[in-house]
Structure 1
């Protein structure tokens, strides 16, 4: 495996247990990288990218997942700059950089002059989590979705993604891939929704990744015609209860700093802020 004077090298299956131990130092913030390591055993083909590590002697002290998402793991600002060269090699295949704000800022300072300019920079996104029962009653009409719900659920997923990211997931021939992703989440029991009497999705959310420690929620959406009614509060309370019962003991998510209604809803449910993340989108 490649090694440099900075003691940075590519990780592989033999490094899996040490990498999981590193991620477990903050298992909620590191849930994505932890999850990907568990399901792929750090095999590059399964990862859809590479996993790099920085070592102090023989001890792994920092890591970086580099695929469609570039995600630092337990990095200081000094650690992450050591991953600049392998990161630059992936400039055309990385869609997002996401991680704790000081770490992402340090990485961007190291690579920004040589990297494609992001189409959007979200610098201080509150990272929220809850590891107990929600503070408000759960909406009893929110449930895990089934394959029979796909035709109604998929348009809501597309609408949420487009609104949040600014680009439709169906662009550039992505429809089949995105539809398969929605089907996969349904099959895993990671998709939750409430439907109205006309069969429309009026609230939905999904689990993006999960480990024995935590599950990260994404794709929270309320139909535009029903916003302002408090559906997100009861809906997220239901998601928290269902996820903690069936998937993982801690539920996390991150939210845009400017999204005051969403932040207020999560606070009412009982989520608390633990750190600030940054997301750079390409």
Structure 2
């Protein structure tokens, strides 16, 4: 399938070129790289498509188009071309996320055609960690096991609801969201501190990973324990565990207004490397 502007849907045969494109900026592109490796660009596993823009027969830019629209290796011109292609195909994504200038250009090209967004976050610091930690890691933080899921799941729901503003269980989504929590635990990507009664005190997960980088999400401290340093020591433990056991660079992005979280990450050793934007419906 192709269109004006040299855009077509990518398939399995395009995977090497797509991964090479991701490798041009492997930390920023970790989500797309992870999705390419785990799905082989098969739409059945993507739950959507990956679009590529070709110049002189070579893949020059791409975008992941499923629940999340994510640009890969794009210039502002590329995302405007993808936006025009998207306008003909209709909205599929519930979230746009990526480097702020690219999401802004895509959003501008849409010119309101996809309707009013529920929330727009235009300046989210993207941060990277290469270690070692600047503070002592919390020795109580460990990998979650399948026996922990019953305690972990409510904490994940609470975090998601705080962050996104809508519970992941709305509209019958509880089963799917719980399956995602179980998947992360099974991969060894869920980290938490549990009290003596098995309740979650602090948690974080790896959302996606490649041979080059991993992205952390879902950082949460139980409300009655906030302000006691659990997040700083906990994130030091997570960052060290991830960089030594999963990928050499640990990344995340955070809301610019969340001064407390940004201070925690900076204390641990995360450094701002850019700005992301997120638009949600």
Same fold (TM over 0.5): yes
Structure 1 unmatched ranges of 5 or more: none
What CA distance in whole angstroms lies between the structure 1 residues aligned with 2:230 and 2:85?
44
Q: How far does residue 50 in structure 1 lie from its aligned partner after superposition?
A: 0.7
User: What is the aligned partner in structure 2 of residue 10 from structure 1?
Assistant: 9
What CA distance in whole angstroms lies between the structure 2 residues aligned with 1:104 and 1:266?
24
What CA distance in whole angstroms lies between the structure 1 residues aligned with 2:220 and 2:152?
11
What CA distance in whole angstroms lies between the structure 2 residues aligned with 1:47 and 1:255?
25
- The answer to whether the Cα contact below 8 Å between 1:66 and 1:90 also exists between their aligned partners in 2 is no
User: What is the aligned partner in structure 2 of residue 73 from structure 1?
Assistant: 72
What CA distance in whole angstroms lies between the structure 1 residues aligned with 2:90 and 2:55?
27
Q: Superposition pairs for residues 222-233 of structure 1, below 5 Å?
A: 222-233=221-232
User: What is the aligned partner in structure 2 of residue 207 from structure 1?
Assistant: 206
User: What is the aligned partner in structure 2 of residue 29 from structure 1?
Assistant: 28
User: What is the aligned partner in structure 2 of residue 273 from structure 1?
Assistant: 272
SS at structure 2 position matched to 1:279: strand
User: What is the aligned partner in structure 2 of residue 161 from structure 1?
Assistant: 160
What CA distance in whole angstroms lies between the structure 2 residues aligned with 1:84 and 1:204?
37
User: What is the aligned partner in structure 1 of residue 258 from structure 2?
Assistant: 259
Q: Superposition pairs for residues 1-282 of structure 1, below 5 Å?
A: 2-88=1-87, 91-282=90-281
SS at structure 2 position matched to 1:6: coil
Deviation larger for 50-59 or 17-26: 50-59
Q: How far does residue 87 in structure 1 lie from its aligned partner after superposition?
A: 2.4
Please give the per-residue CA displacement for 1:124-147, whole angstroms capped at 9, x wherever unaligned.
000001112111110000000000
- The answer to whether the Cα contact below 8 Å between 2:208 and 2:215 also exists between their aligned partners in 1 is yes
What CA distance in whole angstroms lies between the structure 2 residues aligned with 1:88 and 1:244?
40
Please give the per-residue CA displacement for 1:227-269, whole angstroms capped at 9, x wherever unaligned.
1111111000000111112111110000000000000000000
TM-score by length of 1: 0.97
Deviation larger for 110-119 or 181-190: 110-119
TM-score by length of 2: 0.98
Q: How far does residue 4 in structure 1 lie from its aligned partner after superposition?
A: 2.6
Structure 2 unmatched ranges of 5 or more: none
How many corresponding residue pairs? 281
Q: How far does residue 198 in structure 1 lie from its aligned partner after superposition?
A: 3.0
Q: How far does residue 89 in structure 1 lie from its aligned partner after superposition?
A: 5.2
- The answer to whether the Cα contact below 8 Å between 1:95 and 1:281 also exists between their aligned partners in 2 is yes
